[in-house]
Structures are given as C-alpha cells and as structure tokens.
Amino acid sequence: MAAQPRMHRHFEDELEKLRALLIRMGSLVDEQVELASRAVLEGDEEAARFVIKRETRVNEYDLMVDGLCQRILALTQPVAIDLRLLIAGMRIDGEFERIGDIAVNIAERAEKLAGEKELLKSVGIDAMVAAAHSMFRDAFDAFINNDVDLAKSIFERDDIVDDYARTAFDKLIEVMKKDPVQIEPSAHTMSLLRHIERLADHATNIAEDVVFIVEAKMLKHNIPAINMGEAP
C-alpha cells in the first residue's frame, strides 16, 4: 500500500518540474522579446545579436518540456486537472517557442531599420510593441498564478494590437507614396507589423490555455467545455 503514496508524490514532483520549466522558459522568452524590442526601436545591434545567439536556449527548453510531458503521460495516470495542466503545458511550450522565434525575427529587423527611429515612432510601432509585450507578460503571469480574470482581460486587447497594425500599415502606405526613398524601410516595417501581431496572437493563445487549465473550458472555436470532468 505504500507504493501508491510514493507514486502520487512522484507524480506531483513531476508536475512541479513541468511548471518550473515552463516558468523558466517563459522568463527567458520574455527577456528575448524585451531585448528584441530594444534592438529594433533603438537600433541596438548588440542586443539583436544576443537575441539571435540565445535562440538555442529557448529551443533547449522546448525539448526539455516536451520530453518531460511525454514521460509523465507514459508513466502516470493523471486525473482531469492534472491532465489539463499537461495538455496546456505542451501547448504553452509551443507558444513560448514560437514567441522566441518571433523575438529573433524582430531582432533581425534591427539592422535593416537602423537609423529609422523616427519612421517607427511616427507609425506607432513603439506603442504596438509595448501593447503586445504587455499582453504576453500578463498571459505569463496568469499562467503562473492561475489567474483566470487576468487571462480573460487579454482577449479584447488583441483587437487593440490589430488596430495599431492597421493604422501603421495605412501610414506606411502614405509614407511610401510621398517618398520613394522610404519604400525599403517601410517594407521592413510592414514585416515587423506581422511579427508583432503574431506575438499578440500567441499571448492570447496562452491566456486561453490558462482558462482551459482552471475552468476546463476550451475557448478556441467557441467550444464551451470539454468532457474531462468538472473543474475542481
């Protein structure tokens, strides 16, 4: 009979390892986004190089999380709340990995947009980056604290980032019409818009996963609930 409590403790330890890995990975990704934003907004090419070089660490965390989740699923029989954490943990791992890629993509624009601070500011890129990064940070905090209210507050903010993107796109079109010299930097800025939009989208996905963990509700495709038992 003693084996069952030991197995349960081992299972709880594995879940704590999963949460700890995801928190460390999320912290790393957050720093990547911050440095990438500084690189492109301030023309800090050293920060850009650092982000690109450190991408391998994000990928290493991705492999560790994936391996741990597979081990837990293979060796244990998780109940509903724990299974939700495992499923969401694998999804959040994927979101972190993609956001890490986005940070690299943003950093790679730094060299192309060096000396274009005024252009970026005039079309609102600084505000857009800040809004998207804030969404990610709050989604990450919501995961750490199982804060459903904070997670749900993120959903409507995705529309704000989309509005920034539309406004910036229209302004860039006008800039290119007025000054052909600005066509190339404006094109790079349009690419930057897409990366920032995707950052906000992935932050929204993380927030949805938090709701899934805590309330057993899948918000993708407006699915109201899952057949995995009641939320505790």
Residue 137 CA to residue 202 CA, distance in Å, equals: 11
How far apart are alpha carbons 28 and 170 in whole angstroms? Answer: 34
| CATH fold of 3-222 | Methane Monooxygenase Hydroxylase; Chain G, domain 1 (1.20.58)
Written as six digits, the tokens of 146 are 């199982």
Please tell me the predicted confidence (pLDDT) of residue 74. 76
Residues 46-63: tens digit of each pLDDT? 999 999 999 999 999 999
Report yes or no: 211 and 151 within 8 Å, Cβ to Cβ: yes
The pLDDT value given to residue 84: 84
What residue ranges of the chain have pLDDT lower than 70? 1-10, 76-81, 218-232
User: For the chain, how long is the longest CA-to-CA vector?
Assistant: 79
Whole-angstrom Cα Rg for the chain: 20
Which tens digits make up the pLDDT trace of 118-154?
999 999 999 999 999 999 999 999 999 999 999 999 9
